Amino acid sequence: MSIIYLLLSVSVVVAVGFFIAFIVSVKKGQYDDVYTPSVRMLFEDELVEIQDSSITNSEKSN
Amino acid sequence: MDKTTCYHCGDVCERDTVTYDGKPFCCNGCKTVYEIFSENNLTCYYDLQEAPGTTPKEVEGKYKFLDNEDVVERLVAFDDGKSRIVDLYIPTIHCSSCIWVLENLSKLQPAVSTSQVNFPKKTVRIAFSSKELSLKNLVLLLSSIGYEPYISLEDYDSGKKAVDRKLIYKLAVAGFAFGNIMFLSFPEYFNPNENDFWLLRYKPIFRWLMFAFSVPVVFYAGWDYFVSAYKGLRARILNIDVPIALGITVLFVRSTVDIMLNLGSGFFDSLSGLIFFLLIGKFFQQRTYSFLSFERDYKSYFPIAVTRIKRDNATKVEETVQVYDIKKGDRILIRNQELIPVDGILISGHAEIDYSFVTGESKPVEKQSGDKLFAGGKQIGGLLEIEAVQTVEQSYLTQLWSNDAFLKDKESSFQNLTDKISQRFTIAVLSIATISTIFWLVVDAGKSLNVFTAVLIIACPCALALAAPFTLGNMLRIFGKKKFYLKNASVIERLAKSSTLIFDKTGTITTNVSQQITYFGESLLPVEQQLLLTSLKSSNHPLSRQLYNKIKNKEELQLDSFSEITGKGIEACYKNLCLKLGSERFVKGTTSEDKQQTTVHISFNGVYKGCYVFYNQYRDSIQDVFSQLAKHYKLIVLSGDNEGEKNRLKKLLPSNVSLHFNQSPQDKLDFVQKLQNKGDKVVMIGDGLNDAGALMQSDVGLVVSEDINVFSPASDGIIDASVFNLLPRFIRLSGKAVKIIKWSFVFSFLYNVTGLYFAVTGQLTPVIAAILMPLSSISVVVFTTVATNAIAKKIR
């Protein structure tokens, strides 16, 4: 049953690891703005459309 | 006429509609922004959101101060010689298109390396190469696409503010420890059989682990309670933190002794749970509106630097100086749309000063050279040269901020409900503990210490301390949804206690969005009306626009000639009919005595016809609001204006409302103070910087704002003008919220009494404490949340 010592220490180390990760992320300001990232992640696709519109623009100028 | 809306900004295109690329634009400014975007392949801006743009404003010369390296240095957040990072506040950020275009700024200007928007705060952080791009050009670029940053004196002073995240760290520590300690205490709870071999062998390691987890909870997360209790005791006040600190101490000491002497498993889970719940309450109450600021003073209105004219021998040299460096006698230049930073005398130029920041009155006031100009006015029109007669801090308006009212902390002088009740509570708990200890000393001395600590543990007023934060925190959220934004929870309690309401007039009970316009004089012929309308249409003066909107729906004419003389009026001719429109002096050549009203005069071919008089438009709900409030409160109207509107107001408002006119900002502050000395609890409702003193001095200062994004002076709350009619209900709801707190006090007392039964009889085991503590807290939280939501349903 002395495996309990190992299990306990492992579980505490893992828990403390996540705790530290949380503190670090707060410190870096990840939780300061919780709205903008939700919008930002939807923007990626627009780059394709931009190329399309540039083609139509150049066509117009011809 | 069908309504075409601008492709860029969505405004209705009324006149000078520009069509470009097959799309309608309301003005050239909007068209230019579209051009910039389409040239740089950023037209996706218009796909994300319909008509997302803002019309760019004229900024010529406005940002000249950014040439001054000292100023720039104070503004940038980071500078290593090669690249700079700057945080800019842009009030026009309002949709996802804004985020998108600002974060793609590098496509417009390659010198920009990254830009990141913080949408709730409406700020953008831009990193750019300082060699290729100056801060001034960056600001001009932003302005040219309709995102003009707002740079004020406040940015210059404040330096770099650090975000306070302490509460989150403490909450994290307490929550983390609470969870782990609970798991660690389960083996003993589920094995009441004390002689279990397995448990006997391993229980010390579990217990000491719990102890280790609870140390940071007590000495870091819960430390504020000790500090606050100590401060309270030193000020001879038994605040709620005294019994809490006592409870924490007893819990920790008793538990430690228990495990050291192998008496039991200790109350570590209750201890960390208690602190965790208390911190959640604190966190919940701390509702902040990141897009609003309740701390503004004149600094956020004032520019950082102005142009000073220096005379070197006979030549004039223009230089940019920091406003604090303006000395008496300096000549400074004020451009169109610029704010006057110091009191001064007008030397040259035609002044039309908009004092809306100061008084709430948006109608520009005309000034002649030699007139005194007060700081805080905004010039509308041409270039002005003024001579400073005061420095910034000593100007008429700004010296208000040196009053004591701005130093005092309203919250610390207010004893809230929880602290009031905790006085009696603490005394009661201590006497119960003493009495039961004495009883057990007689009956069974061995148990007495156990009982004494048990009473202090169970009486720790966790639920009591949570009642107010959760009720008020939830109320704050409900108010916020209804566009009534309060600075913090204690404002609700103070609002509930108020007895007198003071209203400012201009901008508070009147609206500056629309005005009532009446015509006095001879009636006009149809052709004259048409001429009038057409001339108004061509003019950009605010009064012309309002008048135009009032009398439109007439056919327009083709004018033969049109000229607008800034600050005077309009001359326009059609065939042989010539119209003169504008100020009395301009149209008639004379001025009458009555200067209390705003008028626009008309003459045709030199024959005087009459004038339009502009009246203040009172808010529609004003009668309703006042008659509702008059039943319960003393109502007062304090106005900085003259008595011109006195009779109209008297008719409009209930008879017991007292009216005071010609009140200077200092008068208003003194007036509030006088009432407070008589024992009244005063709510001041104002809007401009001239109310700032009274707002600070009053028990609750509320600001009425037509546009939440526009600046408002320091206050305890901001109410959106569109919900002004709900004000009586908001105040009534605050009263009800306080009642809910009282009811939840009753609730938590019941739990305390139940717990005390176990404690006094000496039966309190860790498992009972571990059940009672969270149960009482959670049920109080549920009760307050449900109750506040229920009463708030009646708001509509």
**pLDDT tens digit sequence for B627-664:** 888 888 899 988 877 777 788 888 888 888 888 888 87
Contact B557, B534 (CB under 8 A): yes
Are the C-beta atoms of B14 and B26 separated by less than 8 Å? yes
Q: What is the DSSP letter of B303?
A: -
Chain A CB within 8 Å of residue B233 CB: no
Token pair, residue B615, equals 């009246």
Strand-pairing partners, residue B306, are: B321
H or E stretch at B347:
strand B344-348
What DSSP state is assigned to residue B616? Answer: E
Which residues in A have their CB inside 8 Å of a CB on B? 1, 4-5, 8, 12, 15, 19, 22-23, 26-27, 29, 31-36, 39-40, 42-43, 46, 49-51, 53-54, 57
Q: Which residue has the higher pLDDT, B592 or B713?
A: B713
In this predicted structure, what is the pLDDT of residue B313? 66
> Buried b / exposed e across B293-314, counting CB within 10 Å, b at 16+?
bbebbbbbbbbbbbbbeeeeee
Select the more confidently predicted residue: A58 or B758.
B758
pLDDT in tens, B372-392: 888 878 787 777 888 888 887
Q: Which residues of B touch A40 (CB under 8 A)?
A: 99, 103, 117
Cβ proximity of B724 and B704 under 8 Å: yes
Report residue B408's pLDDT band, with 50, 70 and 90 as the boundaries: low
Chain A touched by B118 (CB under 8 Å): yes
Six-digit token string for B150: 């707002």
Q: Is A29–B163 a contact, with Cβ atoms under 8 angstroms apart?
A: yes
* DSSP result, B371-383: -EE-TT-EE-SS-
The residue among B58, B35, B48 whose CA lies nearest residue B148 is B58
Report pLDDT for B708: 66
Q: Which residues of B touch A34 (CB under 8 A)?
A: 120
Which structure tokens are listed for B752?
């305390």
Contacts with A32 from chain B: Cβ below 8 Å: 118, 163
Task: Tell me which residue in B47, B119, B201 faces A36 most closely, judged by beta carbons.
Answer: B119
B107: closest CA of chain A, how far (Å):
11
In a mutational test of the A interface, the residue from B87, B90, B96 whose CB has the highest number of chain A CBs within 10 Å is: B96
Q: Do B103 and A43 touch (CB under 8 A)?
A: yes
Cα B553 off chain centre by:
40
For the stretch B96-136, pLDDT in tens is: 888 888 888 888 888 888 888 888 888 888 888 888 888 88
Give the pLDDT of residue B684: 92
* Residue A48 confidence (pLDDT): 44
Taking CB atoms and an 8 Å cutoff, what residues of chain B touch A1? 198, 201-202
8 Å CB contact between B301 and B62: no
- Structure-token match 């002096």, residue found: B585
Q: Cβ–Cβ of A39/B119 closer than 8 Å?
A: yes
H helices present in B261-378, as ranges: 268-285, 356-359
Handedness of CA B420, B424, B426, B429 (dihedral sign): negative
CB distance B433 to B456 below 8 Å: yes
Q: Would the pLDDT of B412 be above 70?
A: no
What average pLDDT does range A42-55 have in this prediction?
52
User: What is the structure's pLDDT at B690?
Assistant: 76
- What are the b/e assignments for B113-122, b being 16+ CB within 10 Å? eebbbbbbbb
Chain segment B279-330, per-residue pLDDT in tens = 998 888 876 666 666 766 677 777 777 788 877 666 777 777 777 778 888 8
Among A19, A43, A54, the residue with its CB nearest the CB of B176 is A19
Handedness of CA B43, B49, B55, B59 (dihedral sign): negative
Q: Which residue of B has its CA nearest to A21?
A: B172
Which residue ranges form the domains of chain B, and what is each CATH number?
Answer: 1-55 (no CATH), 65-158 (3.30.70.100), 166-286+417-470+736-795 (no CATH), 305-397 (2.70.150.10), 483-511+619-732 (3.40.50.1000)
Structure confidence by residue, pLDDT tens digits, B537-595: 777 666 777 777 777 666 667 777 777 776 677 888 887 788 888 877 777 777 665 55
* pLDDT score at B252: 94
- pLDDT at B420 (0 to 100): 82
- For helices B241-260 and B445-458, give the axis angle rounded to 10 degrees: 140
Smallest Cα distance from A23 to chain B, Å: 7
Given a cut of 90, whether residue B275 has pLDDT beyond it is: yes
Interchain CB contact of B283 with A (< 8 Å): no
Chain A touched by B197 (CB under 8 Å):
no
Sheet strand arrangement including B378-379: B365-367, B351-354, B378-379
* pLDDT higher than threshold 90 for residue B477: no
**Interface A:B, Cβ pairs < 8 A:** 68
The predicted structure's pLDDT at residue B176 = 94
Cβ–Cβ of B163/A26 closer than 8 Å?
no
Specify the pLDDT at position B758: 84
Are residues B497 and B682 in contact, defined by beta-carbon separation less than 8 angstroms? no
Work out the average pLDDT over B701-713.
Answer: 75
Give the chain B residue nearest A34 (alpha carbons): B120
Q: How far is CA B176 from CA A5, B168, B216, B295, in A?
A: 20, 12, 11, 34
- Helices within B160-196 (DSSP H only): 166-190
Burial class (CB in 10 A: 0-12, 13-18, 19+), B76: middle
Structure confidence at residue B502 (pLDDT): 92
Does the distance separating the beta carbons of A51 and B163 come in below 8 Å?
Answer: no
Q: Residue range B492-509: average pLDDT?
A: 87
Question: Residue B271's pLDDT is what?
Answer: 92
Amino acid at B781: V
Tokens of B663: 């009140």
Tell me if B117 and A29 make a contact (CB, 8 A cut-off).
no
Q: Calculate ∠ Cα B791-A35-A23, nearest 5°.
A: 100
Q: Is the pLDDT of residue A62 over 50?
A: no
pLDDT at A57: 42
pLDDT at B669 over 80: yes
- Give the pLDDT confidence score for residue B371 in this predicted structure: 82
Residue type (1 letter), B105:
L
Q: Is the pTM of this model over 0.80?
A: no
When mean pLDDT is compared over B143-147, B160-164, B360-364, the highest value belongs to: B143-147
**B180:A12 CB<8 A:** yes
pLDDT-derived band at B777, boundaries 50, 70, 90: confident
Mean pLDDT of B213-229: 93
Q: What is the pLDDT of residues B23-76, one digit of tens each?
A: 888 777 788 788 888 877 777 778 777 777 777 776 666 777 777 777 787 788
Query: CB under 8 Å to B742, separation ≥6 — which residues?
Result: B417
Domain residues for the domain of A15 are 3-61
pLDDT score of B578: 83
Mean pLDDT, residues A31-47: 74
Q: What is the mean pLDDT of residues A45-61?
A: 45
Q: Pull the structure tokens for residue B349.
A: 């130029």
Mutate to test the interface with A, among B44, B45, B96 (most CBs of A within 10 A): B44
Contacting residues for B444 by C-beta, under 8 A, at least 6 apart: B762
Beta-sheet strands, E only, within B323-447: 331-334, 344-348, 351-354, 365-367, 372-373, 378-379, 384-388
| Overall domain count for chain A | 1
State how far residue A61 is from chain B, nearest Cα, in angstroms.
Answer: 11
B42 touches chain A (CB under 8 A): yes
Maximum alpha-carbon separation in chain B: 116
Is residue B766 predicted with pLDDT exceeding 50? yes
Q: What is the pLDDT of residue B667?
A: 85
Q: Which two tokens stand for residue B224?
A: 């504020």
Tokens standing for residue B248:
């924490």
Closest CA–CA distance from residue B214 to any residue of chain A (Å) = 14
- Test the A interface: residue of B20, B21, B35, B41 with most A CBs within 10 Å: B41
Task: Say if B513 is an interface residue toward chain A (CB within 8 Å).
Answer: no
Q: How far B95 CA lies from chain A's nearest CA (Å)?
A: 10
Nearest Cβ partner for A53 among B43, B99, B163: B43
